[in-house]
Amino acid sequence: MSRTQLFNLDGKIAFVSGASRGIGEAIARLLAQQGAHVIVSSRRLEGCQPVVDGIIAEGGKATAIACHIGEMEQITRTFARIREEFGHIDILVNNAATNPQFCNVLDTDLSAFQKTVDVNIRGYFFMSVEAGKLMRDHGGGSIINVASINGVSPGVFQGVYSMTKAAVINMTKVFAKECAQYGIRCNALLPGLTDTKFASALVGNDAILKTALQQIPLKRVARPEEMAGAVLYLASDASTYTTGVSLNVDGGYLS
Ligand SMILES: NC(=O)c1ccc[n+]([C@@H]2O[C@H](COP(=O)([O-])OP(=O)(O)OC[C@H]3O[C@@H](n4cnc5c(N)ncnc54)[C@H](OP(=O)(O)O)[C@@H]3O)[C@@H](O)[C@H]2O)c1
């Protein structure tokens, strides 16, 4: 009996933002294991290089490119380089996001509001526009937006962040509808509480963690690797008829 090739990414070019650690790193490593050449990206090249070195040491293909997704000129420059070096892109994983202020909504700073919107909405949007143009020229591709359960049910003291994640879920449907004609699919991953630096204020606080676990049927937080399989599904030919969906990977939290 032959094994399925549905999850094979040989010859594919994949870009993962925020891939120097956490969920993005786990995604980058799994896509590389499945054969993709992965562009490992974050604001700092030195953060990405160890991930690239690890992938290459395991026999995979990877390149580090620094890109602050809150800076428009860095997005433009990054995609000009991808066009020149790789000619096309098959998979974009918008994963890097920010949550600079943890506070009651009435105490929101304008600067924190602006930064959150610039990175989490404008960044995801124009990364998708740039990748979408390259995908359109090459017959298609798959865009995966890492949103959050907070996009459906806002997290306490995470108001602006939660609003941006709701926008990402809607953005996913916009790209799915308007880019299907170009062979481009667009789907969202909604992670639940996952043990990363990003969530350390929640996972590292015993009282907050205890309350959070009461709402999670599986009674534990996720490991970053537990997000990667869902992204592989959405990136690969296993999901060729799936577009515009939000896939909850949350231990049952939203059920
Ligand atoms: N952890 C959770 O519980 C959880 C739950 C739901 C959703 N999520 C979502 O999952 C995604 C990944 O989060 P994580 O928990 O893996 O976070 P993390 O471990 O803190 O990693 C964040 C990554 O993003 C990069 N980054 C931060 N700001 C950036 C920017 N402006 N431009 C480009 N890269 C940037 C960081 O590297 P540099 O510092 O080098 O830039 C790092 O590689 C985010 O979209 C987050 O909203 C997380």
Predicted pLDDT at 122: 99
Per-residue pLDDT tens digits for 39-69 = 999 999 999 999 999 999 999 999 999 999 9
CA angle 141, 147, 152 (to 5 degrees): 130
Please name the residue whose Cα sits nearest to atom 23 of ligand 1: 18
Active centre residues (catalytic): 161
Predicted pLDDT at 178: 98
Pocket, ligand 1, Cβ cutoff 6 A: 17-24, 42-44, 47, 68-70, 95-98, 119, 146, 148, 191, 193-194, 196-199
Per-residue pLDDT tens digits for 228-238 = 999 999 999 99
Place of tokens 């943890």: 102
Place of tokens 């870009």: 15
What angle, rounded to 10 degrees, do the helices at 22-33 and 45-57 form? 30
CA of 138 to the centre of ligand 1 (A): 29
Q: How many CA atoms lie within 13 A of 202 on its CB side?
A: 20
Predicted pLDDT at 67: 99
Please name the residue whose Cα sits nearest to atom 29 of ligand 1: 96
Please name the residue whose Cα sits nearest to atom 44 of ligand 1: 97
| Probe residue for ligand 1, chosen from 114, 196, 226, 253 as the CB with the greatest number of ligand atoms within 8 Å | 196
Place of tokens 């562009």: 39
DSSP conformational letter for 69: T
Please name the residue whose Cα sits nearest to atom 25 of ligand 1: 18
What angle, rounded to 10 degrees, do the helices at 225-235 and 22-33 form? 50
CA of 154 to the centre of ligand 1 (A): 18
Predicted pLDDT at 220: 98
Predicted pLDDT at 215: 97
What is the pLDDT of the chain when averaged over all its residues?
98
CA of 2 to the centre of ligand 1 (A): 38
CA of 181 to the centre of ligand 1 (A): 31
Predicted pLDDT at 219: 98
pTM for this entry = 0.99
How sure is the predictor about 250, in pLDDT bands with cuts at 50, 70 and 90? very high
- DSSP-assigned beta bridge partners for residue 191: 249
For the CA of 224, the nearest atom of ligand 1: 16
Q: Which domains does the chain have, with CATH numbers?
A: 13-195+223-248 (3.40.50.720)
Per-residue pLDDT tens digits for 130-143 = 999 999 999 999 99
Q: Where are the beta strands (DSSP E) in 78-207?
A: 91-94, 141-146, 184-191
Three-state secondary-structure class, residue 252: coil
